[in-house]
Amino acid sequence: MHSLCIVARLIHHPAIDQTAAPIVEPHASIRRLVLAPLVAALLVGGCSDGGNSGRPHSDATLEILAPPPGATTGPNVELVMRLVGARIVPPTQIGGALRGDQGHIHLLVDGVLVAMPLSEHEALPDLPRGLHTVEAEFVASDHLAFANHVIAAVTFRVR
């Protein structure tokens, strides 16, 4: 990891440079304070070699139950997931030993982080018309991926 890479990204972080564009546009239920540890972890991870050497493994499984693949929905989507073999901890819980059975869920809509839900249900309001892909990833409590990436995705159309 190169410290210059971290510094360069921090300089353009909106919390430091108020003229910079936001790195993520969080869902209204996510406060900047909650996203701060995630952004820091992503910045550090973004400059690494991309490998998961030394990362913990998780036996958890994650699936998206609703909306089903290929569904046509209205603009307000209720996302329902099922996490088996692990539990969700609050996004602010980032310290301590990393365990494969504890972590956070990161929700991305069309590649943009929108939420870190505290449960297996999350409202996705006001999605624009068109095709959308939602990805849910169960990550370790430090907000970085497990060695085996626990991910579910669904693509659906908003009318």
Task: Kindly report, residue by residue over 51-69, the tens digit of the pLDDT.
Answer: 556 999 999 999 999 999 9
Residue 131 has pLDDT above 90, yes or no: yes
Q: Please provide the average confidence, as pLDDT, over all residues in the chain.
A: 78
Name the percent of the chain lying above pLDDT 90. 64
Question: Given the DSSP bridges, would you call strands 77-84 and 112-115 parallel, antiparallel or unpaired?
Answer: unpaired
Output 34-41 pairs: Cβ under 8 A, ≥24 positions apart.
34/91, 34/92, 34/116, 35/91, 35/116, 37/91, 37/92, 37/94, 37/143, 38/91, 38/106, 38/113, 38/116, 38/143, 39/13, 39/15, 41/94, 41/142, 41/143, 41/144
Per residue in 84-118, pLDDT tens?
999 999 999 998 999 999 999 999 999 999 999 99
Lowest mean pLDDT among 32-36, 126-130, 149-153, 155-159: 32-36
Domains in the chain: ranges and CATH: 3-158 (2.60.40.10)
What predicted TM-score, i.e. pTM, was given to this entire model? Answer: 0.71
| Model confidence band, residue 39 (pLDDT cutoffs 50, 70, 90) | very low
**pLDDT in the model for residue 52:** 57
Distance, in Å, from the CA atom of 152 to the CA atom of 48, rounded to the nearest integer, reads 24
User: For the residues of 47-82, what is the DSSP string, one character each?
Assistant: TS-S--TTPPP---EEEEEESPTT-EE-SSEEEEEE
